[in-house]
Amino acid sequence: ILERKHPDAVMLSAFYIKTKNILIDKIKTFFRDQFFSRRVKLPYNKSENLAYFYEHAVVENISYLDDAMHIDCVISKINKGRFAGLI
């Protein structure tokens, strides 16, 4: 029933609290290892690249300062190469 109702979901199960907690920790570790956080200073004359951050990263915060935009973001290690020259 769940597979029909949520076809894109990944189904996991653990019968015991101990194994459930181990499973949750392994999932958290896996995803934590796939991403990194970064603060990027993006000069205003390169502001056209801001859309790129929204498209290929998770933008958590932007500070508009006198010298540039300071972008706090989370980037997938797979996408790191896309940001060459920007991070």
Distance, CA of 77 to chain centre: 9
CA distance 15 to 66: 55
Q: Can you say whether the dihedral through the CA atoms of 76, 80, 82, 87 is positive or negative?
A: positive
**pTM score above 0.75:** no
Weakest mean pLDDT among 10-24, 33-47, 52-66, 72-86? 10-24
Query: Edge-to-edge, what's the strand order for the sheet holding 35-43?
Result: 35-43, 68-76, 57-64
For residue range 44-67, what is the model confidence (pLDDT) as tens digits?
A: 999 999 999 999 999 999 999 999
Residue 55 CB coordination number (10 Å) = 10
